[in-house]
Amino acid sequence: MIAVKGYAAQNAKTPLAPFSFERRTPGANDVLIDILYCGVCHSDIHQARDEWGGSIFPMVPGHEIVGRVAQVGSGVKNFKVGDLAGVGCLVDSCRTCPSCQQNLEQFCEVHSVGTYNSLEMDRKTPTYGGYSNKIVVDERFTLKVSDKLKLDEVAPLLCAGITTYSPLRHWKVGKGQKVAVVGLGGLGHMGVKFAAAFGAEVTVLSTSSAKEKDARRLGAHHFINTNNADEVKKARGRFDFILNTVSAQHDYNFLLNMAKLDGTMVLVGVPPEAVPVHAFSLIGGRKSLAGSLIGGLKETQEMLDFCAAHNITSDVEVIAIKDIESAYARMIKGDVRYRFVIDMATL
């Protein structure tokens, strides 16, 4: 076994604290990665505080992992010691069901193994995430990371990046379309960068008017403060596509009003409580309400390669791991610009 240091939540109520644990000895197809940076996703907060229910404790959160390969198993073909590598939200799946065969491992019909707060395919061994100094992952679930980009800024691509890239690609967002990104946090700011890179006309819908200048710098063409009734009124029926990244309770009907005829709102944000949707919000205008979950391994690699080719990374604030709780508190207030990333040298 491999001795690992990390930070864990012991239960939903107490702050994260240092935690020592073990990972499996790398098998023939495994890579051992020395973790350099790990991004802080709002899903880490939801799960560490058991806001979605069913959390597994102790929990080592973190699924935006970049590091360097320290060891490879005898059967590993695509990685060698010293390579940069990334790990996102998934570390295994059945590999044979129809979803896995279509490179949609996140929708595995048997069991997809989350990087943390999940059980391995044996359904017994808990998985521990990237708030730690080492991880062991099958090479099939390990991503290639370019050495052209800053590593701390690459980490958030592994979740915030793919979670916004995938729906924009799936719904074929591009030139000639008006796109709204709701919530300018970790996911939202990546959604703005990708939608702008794909040629769409991008509007940020935010509760924080102080973010307007940043929104434009990130690539948005327009900004609407959702607390300003006049601005909201003008946006009625405007958008072809709304990417909703909001992490807390809010009104979907209010946002669907801003979709145009045949427009779609895709949920990626996961407020803990169910949100009521009125049929009138959809039928008048033949609108669609949809959802999207991270992305498969193939598309995640495609997204990382797209970012390397187009020089796209996340805007980050690098923190020491001891400051994780204050980072969580700031994220809950919407005070993130635009992703906290833990420097694992501070562990």
Which residues make up the interface to Zn ion (CB under 5 A)?
41, 43, 93-94, 97, 100, 108, 110, 159
Contact predicate 143/131, CB 8 Å: no
Please give the structure tokens belonging to residue 183: 């919530």
Where is 271: in which H helix or E strand?
A: none
Name the one range near ligand NAP by CB under 6 A: 69-77, 94-102, 182-190, 193-201: 182-190
Inter-helix orientation angle 160-170/297-310, to 10°: 100
Contacts to ligand NAP from residues 89-128, by CB under 6 A: none
Q: Is 347 exposed, middle or buried (0-12, 13-18, 19+ CB in 10 A)?
A: middle
Specify the amino acid at residue 207.
T
Question: Which of 2, 94, 121, 248 forms a contact with ligand NAP (CB under 6 A)?
Answer: 248
Contact predicate 323/342, CB 8 Å: no
Contacts to ligand NAP from residues 20-39, by CB under 6 A: none
Contact predicate 161/301, CB 8 Å: no
x/- map, 294-323, ligand NAP, by CB under 6 A: x-----------------------------
Nearer residue to ligand NAP within complex by CB, 79 or 301: 301
CB 325 to ligand NAP: min, Å? 15
Specify the amino acid at residue 1.
M
Count of other CB atoms within 10 angstroms of residue 95: 14
Contact predicate 36/67, CB 8 Å: yes
Specify the amino acid at residue 92.
D
Nearer residue to Zn ion within complex by CB, 3 or 110: 110
x/- map, 39-58, ligand NAP, by CB under 6 A: --xxx--x------------
Beta-carbon contacts of 296 under 8 Å, excluding residues fewer than 6 positions away, are 102, 103, 104, 105, 106
DSSP reduced 3-state for 167: helix
Q: Which does 247 bind (CB under 5 to 8 A by kind): ligand NAP, Zn ion, none?
A: ligand NAP
Q: Is 209 exposed, middle or buried (0-12, 13-18, 19+ CB in 10 A)?
A: middle
Contacts to ligand NAP from residues 254-283, by CB under 6 A: 268-270
336 binds ligand NAP (CB under 6 A): yes
285 alpha-carbon distance from chain centroid: 30
Q: Which does 94 bind (CB under 5 to 8 A by kind): Zn ion, ligand NAP, none?
A: Zn ion
Question: Which of 99, 245, 301, 313 forms a contact with ligand NAP (CB under 6 A)?
Answer: 245
* Cα–Cα distance for residue pair 144/139, rounded to 1 Å: 10
Shortest-Cβ-distance residue relative to ligand NAP? 185
Total interface residues for ligand NAP by CB under 6 A: 31
Q: Which does 257 bind (CB under 5 to 8 A by kind): ligand NAP, Zn ion, none?
A: none
**What residues form DSSP beta bridges with 37?**
66, 343
Nearer residue to Zn ion within complex by CB, 235 or 316: 316
Question: Which of 6, 67, 161, 185 forms a contact with ligand NAP (CB under 6 A)?
Answer: 185
Which positions touch ligand NAP (CB under 6 A)? 41-43, 46, 159-160, 163, 183-188, 206-208, 211, 245-248, 250, 268-270, 292-294, 331, 334, 336
